[in-house]
A and B are shown apart, each in its own frame.
Chain A
Amino acid sequence: MTERIHDGTAGGTDDVQGSPDTTDSSNSALMGTEGTSAPGAGGDGAHGDGELATRDGHGELPARFENPGLPAHVYRRSDIDPKAAIRREREVATFFGLSTLGTVLFIVAYFAIKPAGKSGTDLLDAVSLSTKLLGLGLGLALFCIGVGAIHWAKTLMPDDEVVAVRKPMRSSDEDRADAVAALKDGAAGAGLGRRKLIRNSLLGALAPLGLLAIIPLRDLGPLPGASLAYTAWKPGRRLVTDPTGRPIKAADVPIGGVIHVQPEGIDDAEHPIDERAKATTLVIRLEPDEITDPKQKKWAVDGIVAYSKVCTHVGCPVGLYEQQTHHLLCPCHQSTFDVTKDCAVIFGPAARPLPQLPLAVDSQGYLVSSEDFQEPIGPSFWERGER
């Protein structure tokens, strides 16, 4: 039930190719007019022949608005000018041609560039070139087909406005009655009311089905217990460089120097990655008189201080140390800690200062931890206060 309003052939003839049921009842109901639908008015752009709805002198609205119909059809240049149509045709063909070129490029690149058998930089060079050419070829091949097709449809295919009338959603009364009857028949045939064993066992199967969704949630636990509150640092445990694992002589740490450290033998732990994540620590040497905090001074060795590298905000590694300002910066959210003030937070979202690791020197002059961190390291968690 469609109706072509305009014939889009070049030259713009105005004949209407209406289907016979132009003015049937459903169409008229849709358009909201009494059989004077605007499309019948032809290509002169008239919006119906009734008077326009305007307020009259008494300020009253008319009882009915006239259907304004569809706006006038605008002809494209390719509809009017055959030369323009030929130009459009060539443009479309150019896009399709580009697509073919893309396909050829893809195939040539696939066979011409052979990364296999190469090594080192040559291999990476070949892979890089291959990736780029394959991507370019494939992209060109697909994109240009799309562009050509759309350009074709938009400039050359008919673009007449078309009215398509919706069918009613409701089924006929007979169909509805049939459906109800079929349902009732089926229920009676299954005999749910009669065969109690089946009904009850089915209920027994369906009811616990919800457990399948709930039980795997157990994997969210068990609660971490004390594992977050303590790290691998113990009294007398040596600090070793990360990742090279050498012990550090206190005398070797230059002023303004930074060392990323782990406890000695951390890789022998049961869960080395977990233990490394918790114990990771930053050693910094300041001028001893730059330290103002008495606790910080007490836990330092000759200006060498050690702080947890895990940010107290959300646990990123706080590693950006500015030697001149003594600011320690977290790369994730720019929390900034002042190392000369016991790593107090001077900027950013971190909630607490970084925990300090108490340091000492063993008999051979190597740096050791004299105790574990005195508070849980890293971001807040519910049981944090229970240590």
Chain B
Amino acid sequence: MTRLSKPLAVLRALSRRRRHRLAPLLLLLLALGTTGGAYAAFAPTGDAAAAAGASTQTLAQGRLLYLKNCATCHGLNAEGSGTDGPSLIGVGAAAVDFQVGTGRMPAKELGAQIQAKRQFFTDGQISAMAAYVASLAPGPAIPSEEDVNYSDANIAEGGEIYRTNCAMCHNFAGSGGALTRGKYAPSLKKTTPTHMYEAMLTGPQSMPVFGDGTMTPEEKRDIIGFLKTTSAEPSPGGLALGKIGPVSEGAVGWLVGLGALIGCAVWLGAKAR
């Protein structure tokens, strides 16, 4: 026992020194320095950046943001990691702008469906990340202001295209609806025209892709025009009740209407005091 006591005391002293208060901070600084150095050494040169039309600085910022916030699931080189996150090679800037811009990414939790929430990054950070992902492989670009300008859209035609292609999931008035096993088509009432356009181009999550070859940009604008016009439209028949069709109307009819009738009947039959 006594023979071991001295080395033990030394070890204990060492371990005490290891747990110095500032040790984690030092370690962190060291790690950051190494990462930064490695980055400076291995950062891609301007070729891809020039191709994507973004500055080297933006791309570097985008890559850094990607590595910090996305790489855990989507892989260090955006190659994806099995079930956690798909590959982002070739998804294009439009997919990044949609997923991060609607707050779906970074994901809060992995469930049946990643839900939209408050936007986590600034617009500048999003465009930097989008530029980085777009520099990996060609993919759909973020639509311009003109692409989504629906002021000249043919709303009637847009309604027809919407009802054939979109209404089965997103509901006739864009109120959204249920899919299988907890998945759902979200409501389109508060979706911005750019995000609608990007969703059609890229097909996020369960949604199919509606590429420009099969649904022209003009038709996409028509759909956006239809949705934006009808969602701003008042309901001439009275209360809209969420515009989800017979479910809410039936619920009000059965619960409120019949409830009131039953209440009246009970009151009629009760003896006055």
Contacts and interface: CB of A to CB of B under 8 A. Distances in A.
A248 B210 CA distance: 13
Contacts of B234: 121, 124-125, 128
B161 A243 contact: yes
Contacts of B5: none
Given A256-B209, A284-B208, A76 B272 contact: yes
B214 interface: yes
Contact of B164 (A242, A323, A327, A347): A242
A284 B203 CA distance: 13
B238 A128 contact: yes
B227 to A, nearest CB: 15
Q: How large is the interface on B (under 10, 10 to 19, 20 to 34, 35 or more residues)?
A: 35 or more
Contacts, number: 104
For B169, B207, B213, B215, the residue with the greatest tally of chain A CB atoms inside 10 Å of its CB is B213
A83 interface: no
B31 interface: no
Given A124-B236, A128-B236, A131-B237, A243 B160 contact: yes
Given A77-B273, A244-B219, A323-B203, A258 B210 contact: yes
Contacts of B161: 243-244
For A77, A132, A248, the residue with the greatest tally of chain B CB atoms inside 10 Å of its CB is A132
A241 interface: yes
B214 A323 contact: no
A339 B6 CA distance: 72
Contacts of B213: 248-249, 251-254
Given A241-B214, A252-B213, A253-B214, A155 B272 contact: yes
Interface in B205-236: 205-211, 213-215, 219, 232-236
Contacts of B183: 322
B165 interface: yes
A323 B211 contact: no
Contacts of A317: 168
Contact of B272 (A159, A248, A254, A256): A159
Contacts of A255: 209
B214 A257 contact: yes
B68 interface: no
A77 B273 CA distance: 6
For B177, B236, B237, the residue with the greatest tally of chain A CB atoms inside 10 Å of its CB is B236
For B164, B168, B214, the residue with the greatest tally of chain A CB atoms inside 10 Å of its CB is B214
Given A252-B213, A329-B180, A323 B238 contact: no
B273 A76 contact: yes
For A258, A317, A322, A329, the residue with the greatest tally of chain B CB atoms inside 10 Å of its CB is A322
For A254, A323, A336, the residue with the greatest tally of chain B CB atoms inside 10 Å of its CB is A254
Contacts of B272: 76, 78, 154-155, 159
B19 interface: no
Nearest to A123: B236
Contact of A256 (B157, B203, B268): B203
Interface in B259-273: 267-268, 271-273
Given A132-B238, A244-B161, A320 B207 contact: no
B32 interface: no
Nearest to A78: B272
B273 A243 contact: no
Interface in A119-177: 121, 124-125, 127-128, 131-132, 135, 150, 154-155, 159
B236 A323 contact: no
Interface string B155-175: 001001100110011000000
A317 B213 CA distance: 24
B207 to A, nearest CB: 6
B206 A131 contact: no
A54 interface: no
Interface string A315-341: 001011111110101010010100000
A319 B168 contact: yes
A135 B236 CA distance: 13
B165 to A, nearest CB: 6
Interface in B169-194: 169, 177, 179-180, 183, 185
A255 B207 CA distance: 12
For A77, A244, A329, the residue with the greatest tally of chain B CB atoms inside 10 Å of its CB is A244
Contacts of A256: 203, 208-209
Contacts of A291: none
Contacts of A324: 205-206
Interface in A171-199: none
A150 B269 CA distance: 10
Interface string A252-269: 111111111000000000
A12 to B, nearest CB: 15
B268 A150 contact: yes
B180 A336 contact: yes
Interface of B: 157, 160-161, 164-165, 168-169, 177, 179-180, 183, 185, 203, 205-211, 213-215, 219, 232-239, 267-268, 271-273
Given A254-B213, A323-B203, A329-B179, 10 more contacts: A124-B233, A128-B234, A242-B164, A254-B211, A257-B210, A258-B208, A258-B210, A324-B206, A325-B206, A334-B180
25 contacts: A77-B273, A124-B234, A127-B236, A128-B234, A128-B237, A131-B237, A242-B164, A244-B219, A249-B213, A254-B203, A254-B211, A256-B208, A257-B203, A257-B210, A257-B214, A258-B209, A259-B214, A260-B165, A320-B179, A320-B185, A323-B205, A323-B209, A324-B206, A325-B180, A334-B180
